[in-house]
Amino acid sequence: MSLVYIHDLTHANGGKKLYENTEIRLNKGEHIALIGPNGAGKTTFLNIVAGKIVPDHGVVEVHPRTKIGYLDQHQDVDGTQSVDEYLKMSFKHLYDIEAKMHKIYEKMAEEYDEDELVKALKYQDSLNAHDFDTIDKKIGNLVTGLGIGIDKLEMKMGDLSGGQRGKVMLAKLLLSGNDFLLLDEPTNFLDIEQVE
Ligand SMILES: Nc1ncnc2c1ncn2[C@@H]1O[C@H](COP(=O)(O)OP(=O)(O)OP(=O)(O)O)[C@@H](O)[C@H]1O
Ligand SMILES: [Mg+2]
């Protein structure tokens, strides 16, 4: 099944024609390496797939409900956020549910209420269904595997080096549960072991 189907693609940047009547299918489960010299149009192509650039001509069809993740190492991040907060942003809705659940239990410590208990149990079911309990472990594994170091979790995003920030962005993308990942030079900051 094609997650993305691009056809009749023609696009130029600053008068330089990058693609002409190009067609490509990106299928589920595929790993595609895009190779070309500097300035060939690799980054521009990823931006077109991600919908950040509208091509001069052509059609980009994305299969309904396909979640595309894009690693853009130059994107702005909130420098005041800690690495831990940044990585957990993708799970914010689950942390919100957890907070509501805790609130109910706090209230229940003072006064028992059956309806509220049922609600809290429903929240718990929802968290279980999304493997909420394993988020910290997943983050720990990634942070270790990519060579970021657990000690960096408390650091502010703004205090990281460019290489460290790139790794944290990659970690967040890998945590986000996308159907398709667009990675622009994701291994720049990684050694062989971390790539593996
Ligand atoms: N915003 C822009 N306006 C005009 N020209 C641009 C713009 N962005 C990129 N270009 C030009 O388009 C061409 C393709 O650039 P692109 O960044 O897609 O190449 P690339 O293959 O990713 O190169 P690299 O390997 O250096 O990352 C280059 O000639 C570049 O100078
Ligand atoms: Mg590029």
Domain that includes residue 140, residue range: 83-177+188-195
User: In terms of domains, do 159 and 127 share one?
Assistant: yes
Query: In this structure, is residue 130 part of a structural domain?
Result: yes
User: In terms of domains, do 61 and 89 share one?
Assistant: no
Identify the three-state secondary structure at position 71. strand
Q: What number is the average pLDDT over the span 104-133?
A: 93
Convert the pLDDT of each residue in 51-92 to its tens digit. 999 999 999 999 998 999 998 877 788 999 999 999 999 899
Residue closest by Cα to atom 8 of ligand 1:
13
Closest alpha carbon to 22 in 41, 12, 7: 7
Total structural domains within the chain: 2
Query: What is the pLDDT at residue 62?
Result: 94
For residue 141, count other CB atoms closer than 10 A to its CB. Answer: 12
Q: How far apart are the CA of 112 and the centre of ligand 2, in A? A: 59
Q: Are 132 and 94 in contact (CB under 8 A)?
A: yes
Query: What is the pLDDT at residue 176?
Result: 86
Q: What is the CATH number of the domain that holds 113?
A: 3.40.50.300
d(CA 7, CA 105): 55
Query: In this structure, is residue 92 part of a structural domain?
Result: yes
Query: In this structure, is residue 73 part of a structural domain?
Result: no
Q: How far apart are the CA of 70 and the centre of ligand 1, in A? A: 17
User: In terms of domains, do 51 and 103 share one?
Assistant: no
Q: Are 174 and 144 in contact (CB under 8 A)?
A: no
| Residues in the ligand 1 pocket, defined by CB under 6 Å | 13-14, 16, 18, 36, 38-44
